[in-house]
Amino acid sequence: MSLEDNLRFYGDIKDILKFYAISTVRIKIMICLIEGYKKTRDLKELTGIQSSSILHGINELEKQGMVLRNGDYFYLTELGRIMAPKLVNMIKTQFVLKKFQRLWLDHTIEAIPQNLMMNIGDLSNSQLIESEKTDVYKTHEKHIQVVQDSKELKGVSPIFYPIYTETFTGIIESGTKVELILTDAVLERTLTSHNNGIEDMKKLLSTGNLTIWKIEDAKTAFTVTDKFMTFGLFLPNGMYDSNKLLFSDHKDSLKWANELFEYYRQKAERFEL
Protein backbone atom coordinates (compact mmCIF):
# COMPACT_ATOMS: atom_id res chain seq x y z
CA MET A 1 0.00 0.00 0.00
CA SER A 2 1.52 3.32 -1.06
CA LEU A 3 1.74 6.48 1.01
CA GLU A 4 -0.44 8.26 -1.53
CA ASP A 5 -3.14 5.61 -1.21
CA ASN A 6 -3.17 5.86 2.59
CA LEU A 7 -3.48 9.64 2.50
CA ARG A 8 -6.27 9.40 -0.04
CA PHE A 9 -8.10 6.79 2.03
CA TYR A 10 -7.87 9.04 5.08
CA GLY A 11 -9.40 11.90 3.13
CA ASP A 12 -12.34 9.69 2.24
CA ILE A 13 -13.09 8.46 5.77
CA LYS A 14 -11.88 11.23 8.09
CA ASP A 15 -15.47 12.16 8.99
CA ILE A 16 -16.12 8.56 10.04
CA LEU A 17 -13.09 8.65 12.34
CA LYS A 18 -14.40 11.86 13.91
CA PHE A 19 -17.78 10.15 14.37
CA TYR A 20 -16.21 7.67 16.77
CA ALA A 21 -13.50 9.87 18.27
CA ILE A 22 -15.84 12.57 19.60
CA SER A 23 -18.31 10.23 21.29
CA THR A 24 -17.53 8.22 24.39
CA VAL A 25 -21.09 6.86 24.33
CA ARG A 26 -20.85 5.41 20.83
CA ILE A 27 -17.46 3.84 21.52
CA LYS A 28 -18.68 2.17 24.73
CA ILE A 29 -21.84 0.87 23.05
CA MET A 30 -19.80 -0.72 20.26
CA ILE A 31 -17.46 -2.34 22.77
CA CYS A 32 -20.32 -3.76 24.84
CA LEU A 33 -22.15 -5.18 21.82
CA ILE A 34 -19.13 -7.25 20.79
CA GLU A 35 -20.32 -9.80 23.37
CA GLY A 36 -23.75 -10.03 21.70
CA TYR A 37 -27.30 -8.79 22.18
CA LYS A 38 -27.85 -6.19 24.91
CA LYS A 39 -30.85 -4.27 26.28
CA THR A 40 -30.73 -0.60 27.23
CA ARG A 41 -30.53 -1.50 30.92
CA ASP A 42 -27.63 -3.88 30.18
CA LEU A 43 -25.72 -1.09 28.44
CA LYS A 44 -26.49 1.29 31.29
CA GLU A 45 -25.15 -1.15 33.90
CA LEU A 46 -22.01 -1.85 31.88
CA THR A 47 -21.16 1.74 30.95
CA GLY A 48 -22.69 3.86 33.70
CA ILE A 49 -24.26 6.06 31.02
CA GLN A 50 -27.84 7.32 31.30
CA SER A 51 -30.49 5.55 29.18
CA SER A 52 -31.34 8.70 27.22
CA SER A 53 -27.71 9.13 26.12
CA ILE A 54 -27.48 5.44 25.23
CA LEU A 55 -30.60 5.59 23.04
CA HIS A 56 -29.29 8.69 21.29
CA GLY A 57 -26.00 6.91 20.64
CA ILE A 58 -27.86 3.85 19.35
CA ASN A 59 -29.81 6.02 16.91
CA GLU A 60 -26.58 7.53 15.57
CA LEU A 61 -24.98 4.10 15.18
CA GLU A 62 -28.09 2.81 13.39
CA LYS A 63 -27.76 5.63 10.86
CA GLN A 64 -24.18 4.53 10.19
CA GLY A 65 -25.30 0.91 9.70
CA MET A 66 -23.36 -0.34 12.71
CA VAL A 67 -26.19 -1.35 15.05
CA LEU A 68 -29.67 -2.86 14.65
CA ARG A 69 -32.46 -3.52 17.12
CA ASN A 70 -34.68 -6.54 17.60
CA GLY A 71 -37.46 -5.66 20.02
CA ASP A 72 -35.78 -4.47 23.22
CA TYR A 73 -32.38 -5.81 22.15
CA PHE A 74 -29.56 -4.13 20.23
CA TYR A 75 -26.81 -5.90 18.30
CA LEU A 76 -23.99 -5.20 15.85
CA THR A 77 -24.55 -5.45 12.13
CA GLU A 78 -21.99 -7.18 9.93
CA LEU A 79 -20.30 -3.80 9.50
CA GLY A 80 -20.32 -3.32 13.25
CA ARG A 81 -18.81 -6.75 13.85
CA ILE A 82 -15.90 -5.74 11.61
CA MET A 83 -15.48 -2.27 13.08
CA ALA A 84 -15.86 -2.92 16.81
CA PRO A 85 -12.77 -5.18 17.22
CA LYS A 86 -10.73 -2.60 15.31
CA LEU A 87 -11.81 0.06 17.77
CA VAL A 88 -10.87 -2.20 20.69
CA ASN A 89 -7.47 -2.89 19.13
CA MET A 90 -6.82 0.84 18.73
CA ILE A 91 -7.83 1.47 22.36
CA LYS A 92 -5.58 -1.32 23.64
CA THR A 93 -2.68 -0.08 21.51
CA GLN A 94 -2.97 3.44 22.88
CA PHE A 95 -3.21 2.02 26.41
CA VAL A 96 0.00 0.00 25.96
CA LEU A 97 1.86 2.99 24.49
CA LYS A 98 0.85 5.17 27.42
CA LYS A 99 1.32 2.56 30.16
CA PHE A 100 4.80 1.47 29.02
CA GLN A 101 5.99 4.74 27.49
CA ARG A 102 9.39 4.46 29.20
CA LEU A 103 9.99 1.16 27.45
CA TRP A 104 8.99 2.19 23.91
CA LEU A 105 10.59 5.65 23.88
CA ASP A 106 14.04 4.64 25.10
CA HIS A 107 14.53 1.31 23.31
CA THR A 108 14.79 -0.05 19.78
CA ILE A 109 11.72 -1.94 18.54
CA GLU A 110 13.15 -3.43 15.34
CA ALA A 111 12.98 -6.88 16.96
CA ILE A 112 9.17 -6.90 16.74
CA PRO A 113 7.73 -7.95 13.35
CA GLN A 114 5.03 -5.81 11.77
CA ASN A 115 2.15 -8.23 12.36
CA LEU A 116 2.89 -8.35 16.10
CA MET A 117 3.41 -4.60 16.20
CA MET A 118 -0.18 -4.34 14.94
CA ASN A 119 -1.26 -6.48 17.91
CA ILE A 120 0.89 -4.76 20.54
CA GLY A 121 -2.32 -4.11 22.48
CA ASP A 122 -2.25 -7.77 23.51
CA LEU A 123 0.36 -6.70 26.09
CA SER A 124 -2.10 -4.36 27.83
CA ASN A 125 -2.40 -6.63 30.90
CA SER A 126 1.36 -6.72 31.44
CA GLN A 127 3.39 -4.88 34.04
CA LEU A 128 6.76 -3.18 33.67
CA ILE A 129 9.27 -4.36 36.24
CA GLU A 130 12.22 -2.04 36.78
CA SER A 131 15.36 -2.48 38.84
CA GLU A 132 15.89 0.03 41.61
CA LYS A 133 18.90 1.50 43.39
CA THR A 134 18.05 -0.61 46.41
CA ASP A 135 17.15 -3.69 44.34
CA VAL A 136 19.37 -3.89 41.25
CA TYR A 137 18.56 -7.58 40.70
CA LYS A 138 14.79 -7.13 40.64
CA THR A 139 14.35 -8.03 36.96
CA HIS A 140 16.75 -10.96 37.17
CA GLU A 141 14.92 -12.38 40.17
CA LYS A 142 11.59 -12.13 38.33
CA HIS A 143 13.05 -13.91 35.31
CA ILE A 144 14.51 -16.68 37.46
CA GLN A 145 11.14 -17.10 39.17
CA VAL A 146 9.39 -17.43 35.79
CA VAL A 147 11.92 -20.01 34.59
CA GLN A 148 11.78 -22.13 37.73
CA ASP A 149 7.97 -22.14 37.86
CA SER A 150 7.49 -23.66 34.39
CA LYS A 151 6.59 -26.98 32.84
CA GLU A 152 7.19 -25.78 29.28
CA LEU A 153 9.45 -22.92 28.27
CA LYS A 154 10.46 -21.15 25.07
CA GLY A 155 12.90 -18.30 24.87
CA VAL A 156 15.14 -16.13 22.73
CA SER A 157 18.40 -14.92 24.22
CA PRO A 158 21.11 -12.71 22.72
CA ILE A 159 22.67 -12.27 26.18
CA PHE A 160 24.67 -14.59 28.42
CA TYR A 161 24.38 -14.83 32.22
CA PRO A 162 26.14 -17.78 33.94
CA ILE A 163 23.42 -17.99 36.61
CA TYR A 164 20.81 -18.56 33.88
CA THR A 165 22.80 -21.54 32.61
CA GLU A 166 22.64 -23.14 36.05
CA THR A 167 18.93 -22.42 36.37
CA PHE A 168 18.06 -23.86 32.97
CA THR A 169 20.18 -26.94 33.65
CA GLY A 170 18.16 -27.57 36.81
CA ILE A 171 14.72 -27.32 35.23
CA ILE A 172 15.70 -29.40 32.18
CA GLU A 173 17.02 -32.19 34.40
CA SER A 174 13.80 -32.04 36.42
CA GLY A 175 11.68 -32.61 33.29
CA THR A 176 10.74 -29.16 31.96
CA LYS A 177 10.50 -29.01 28.17
CA VAL A 178 12.73 -26.18 26.95
CA GLU A 179 13.21 -24.64 23.51
CA LEU A 180 15.87 -21.96 23.25
CA ILE A 181 16.90 -19.75 20.37
CA LEU A 182 20.40 -18.48 21.05
CA THR A 183 22.56 -16.14 19.03
CA ASP A 184 25.78 -17.58 17.69
CA ALA A 185 27.78 -15.56 20.22
CA VAL A 186 25.71 -16.73 23.20
CA LEU A 187 25.79 -20.34 22.05
CA GLU A 188 29.58 -20.26 21.75
CA ARG A 189 29.88 -18.64 25.16
CA THR A 190 27.59 -21.28 26.66
CA LEU A 191 29.69 -24.11 25.26
CA THR A 192 33.02 -22.60 26.35
CA SER A 193 32.05 -21.00 29.67
CA HIS A 194 33.72 -23.89 31.53
CA ASN A 195 35.79 -26.95 30.71
CA ASN A 196 32.86 -29.39 30.50
CA GLY A 197 30.59 -27.08 28.53
CA ILE A 198 30.21 -29.30 25.48
CA GLU A 199 29.78 -32.49 27.53
CA ASP A 200 27.19 -30.80 29.72
CA MET A 201 25.31 -29.68 26.61
CA LYS A 202 25.37 -33.21 25.19
CA LYS A 203 23.96 -34.52 28.45
CA LEU A 204 21.11 -32.00 28.45
CA LEU A 205 20.27 -32.64 24.81
CA SER A 206 20.22 -36.38 25.45
CA THR A 207 17.39 -35.95 27.97
CA GLY A 208 15.02 -35.05 25.13
CA ASN A 209 13.84 -32.06 27.15
CA LEU A 210 16.05 -29.48 25.42
CA THR A 211 15.94 -28.17 21.87
CA ILE A 212 18.31 -25.45 20.77
CA TRP A 213 18.12 -23.23 17.72
CA LYS A 214 20.80 -20.79 16.69
CA ILE A 215 20.36 -17.42 15.04
CA GLU A 216 22.84 -14.81 13.91
CA ASP A 217 21.32 -11.93 15.86
CA ALA A 218 18.24 -10.85 17.82
CA LYS A 219 17.47 -7.46 19.37
CA THR A 220 15.20 -8.79 22.09
CA ALA A 221 15.38 -11.22 24.98
CA PHE A 222 12.15 -12.89 26.03
CA THR A 223 10.74 -16.00 27.66
CA VAL A 224 7.29 -17.55 27.41
CA THR A 225 6.19 -20.47 29.56
CA ASP A 226 2.93 -22.27 30.21
CA LYS A 227 2.14 -19.59 32.82
CA PHE A 228 4.14 -16.42 32.23
CA MET A 229 6.03 -14.30 29.75
CA THR A 230 8.89 -11.83 30.12
CA PHE A 231 10.08 -9.45 27.43
CA GLY A 232 13.05 -7.09 27.20
CA LEU A 233 14.55 -4.78 24.59
CA PHE A 234 17.87 -3.24 23.61
CA LEU A 235 18.94 0.35 24.08
CA PRO A 236 19.82 2.50 21.02
CA ASN A 237 23.52 2.09 21.86
CA GLY A 238 23.27 -1.65 21.18
CA MET A 239 23.32 -2.76 24.82
CA TYR A 240 20.58 -4.93 26.29
CA ASP A 241 18.65 -3.13 29.05
CA SER A 242 18.56 -5.58 31.93
CA ASN A 243 16.86 -3.00 34.14
CA LYS A 244 13.43 -3.10 32.47
CA LEU A 245 11.36 -6.23 31.96
CA LEU A 246 7.79 -6.59 30.74
CA PHE A 247 5.99 -9.36 32.65
CA SER A 248 2.55 -10.91 32.22
CA ASP A 249 0.48 -13.99 33.02
CA HIS A 250 -2.44 -12.97 30.77
CA LYS A 251 -3.46 -15.32 27.95
CA ASP A 252 -3.28 -12.53 25.32
CA SER A 253 0.32 -11.75 26.29
CA LEU A 254 1.27 -15.44 26.22
CA LYS A 255 -0.25 -15.81 22.77
CA TRP A 256 1.65 -12.74 21.55
CA ALA A 257 4.95 -14.03 22.96
CA ASN A 258 4.41 -17.50 21.47
CA GLU A 259 3.87 -15.94 18.05
CA LEU A 260 7.05 -13.90 18.50
CA PHE A 261 8.96 -17.07 19.34
CA GLU A 262 7.60 -18.77 16.21
CA TYR A 263 8.74 -15.78 14.14
CA TYR A 264 12.30 -16.22 15.39
CA ARG A 265 12.20 -20.01 15.18
CA GLN A 266 11.44 -19.79 11.48
CA LYS A 267 14.54 -17.64 11.04
CA ALA A 268 16.76 -19.93 13.13
CA GLU A 269 18.69 -23.13 12.43
CA ARG A 270 18.39 -26.27 14.54
CA PHE A 271 21.53 -26.90 16.61
CA GLU A 272 22.88 -30.37 17.25
CA LEU A 273 26.09 -31.78 18.66
Query: Is there a single domain that holds both residue 223 and residue 107?
Result: yes
Last residue of a domain, one of 47, 71, 91: 91
Is 0.85 topped by the overall pTM?
yes
101-156 pLDDT, tens digit per residue, is 999 998 999 999 999 999 999 999 999 999 998 898 899 999 999 999 999 999 99
Query: Is there a single domain that holds both residue 119 and residue 144?
Result: yes
CA angle 242, 247, 251 (to 5 degrees): 150
Query: Is there a single domain that holds both residue 211 and residue 151?
Result: yes
Q: What is the pLDDT of residue 1?
A: 63
**Nearest-angstrom CA–CA distance, 69 and 54:** 13
Residue 55: give its domain's CATH number: 1.10.10.10
Query: Is there a single domain that holds both residue 112 and residue 132?
Result: yes
Which domain does 81 fall in, by range? Answer: 3-91
Query: Is there a single domain that holds both residue 106 and residue 86?
Result: no
**Nearest-angstrom CA–CA distance, 30 and 120:** 21
Residue 190: give its domain's CATH number: 3.30.870.10
Query: Is there a single domain that holds both residue 74 and residue 184?
Result: no
Please count the structural domains in the chain.
Answer: 2
